[in-house]
Amino acid sequence: MPKNILIIGACGQIGTELTLALRKKYGSEHVIASDIREGNDDLMQSGPFEILDATNYDTLEEVIAYYDICEVYLMAAMLSATAEKFPMRAWNLNMNTLFNVLNLAKEKKINKIFWPSSIAVFGPNTPKEDTPQNTIMEPSTVYGISKQSGERWCEYYFNKFNVDVRSIRYPGLISWKTMPGGGTTDYAIEIYHKALSDGSYTCFLGEETKLPMMFMDDAIRATLQIMEAPEKDIKVRSSYNLAGMSFTPKEMAENIKAVMPSFKIEYAPDFRQDIADSWPSSIDDTPAKDDWGWKSEFNLEKTTEEMLGNLG
């Protein structure tokens, strides 16, 4: 019998593409999308959907029982830039949804969980280049604090209650199917939209701000791969470092100029600069490669080709 899967926060930037990928793999009727709002047509028309507030344990439990859910992908969260504006709302959303899902697994109502962490778990005292899996963390943002706490709880639930929870520290994700949800790396998506609509872009980060990034197809592939890996191969139960590419806004602009020579960029850093400055520039993802065979496929050139090709 194929397993039934629930995606929470399915209408967001990652949830939309993850839902479509899981439906393709396991069959639409086995993949239930849920969110507090409706998603785009592709998502809504491709399979079952429930309006669900994942901070509410009882309704979450009901949906899980009704659909006989075995695996949960928890994608609901408040992202880095928005979380700085609403710290308590971010903390409550990011932590309560995670506890609800972890506790459902502890109660044996679900078997497996995917919960994403982020490069935001690292802070200003973390080594910036090739940031290792295990190092000084000390996040300085509300979002980063919630993700680091989440990682500690995931590992705790695995150790104490044998909860099979798997996690990746996503870098900034670049995609064209859905707009980003209020993160610090959103510039790397907006830049393509503005290049095509206006021929110019004003970047909210400084030109030399180098950050770890990844094209969405790589992120979805990594997510499916870690969830399918044999349990014994998942040796990190907090969250795995994951690397795709690293570049600055200036390098990205040069890359766009190579195909759109008239493209112009200006820089007007705002409050998001401080957040970006506290994060690593590049990530060492050796444990993900060694433990479950991770390998990225998209570099900046290929990403620009995909973004301009699909948005144009």
Known catalytic residues? 143
Considering only 5, 6, 14, 236, the residue that binds ligand NAD (CB under 6 A) is: 14
77 binds ligand NAD (CB under 6 A): yes
| Helices H / strands E in the chain, number of each | 12, 14
- Among residues 4 and 34, whose Cβ is nearest to ligand NAD? 34
Backbone φ and ψ of 269, nearest 5°? -60, 140
Q: How far apart are CA 216 and CA 12, in angstroms?
A: 12
Q: How many residues bind ligand NAD (CB under 6 A)?
A: 28
- Among residues 123 and 172, whose Cβ is nearest to ligand NAD? 172
226 binds ligand NAD (CB under 6 A): no
Q: How far apart are CA 92 and CA 146, in angstroms?
A: 9
Q: How far apart are CA 79 and CA 182, in angstroms?
A: 6
37 binds ligand NAD (CB under 6 A): yes
> Which residue's Cβ has the minimum distance to ligand NAD?
12
Closest distance to ligand NAD from the beta carbon of 150 (Å): 9
Would you call 37 helix, strand, or coil by DSSP?
Answer: coil
- Among residues 47 and 116, whose Cβ is nearest to ligand NAD? 116
11 binds ligand NAD (CB under 6 A): yes
Residue 85 corresponds to which tokens in the numbers above?
């504006």
Handedness of CA 122, 123, 129, 135 (dihedral sign): negative
160 binds ligand NAD (CB under 6 A): no
150 binds ligand NAD (CB under 6 A): no
E strand map for the chain: 5-8, 31-35, 49-51, 71-74, 112-114, 117-118, 164-166, 168-170, 172-174, 200-203, 211-215, 240-241, 245-247, 264-267
9 binds ligand NAD (CB under 6 A): yes
Q: Answer whether 154's CB lies under 8 Å from 239's CB.
A: yes
249 binds ligand NAD (CB under 6 A): no
Considering only 114, 157, 170, 247, the residue that binds ligand NAD (CB under 6 A) is: 170
Q: How far apart are CA 211 and CA 201, in angstroms?
A: 18
20 binds ligand NAD (CB under 6 A): no
12 binds ligand NAD (CB under 6 A): yes
- Among residues 81 and 265, whose Cβ is nearest to ligand NAD? 81
Q: Which residues bind ligand NAD (CB under 6 A)?
A: 8-9, 11-15, 35-37, 52-55, 75-77, 79, 93, 116, 118, 170, 172-173, 180-181, 183, 185
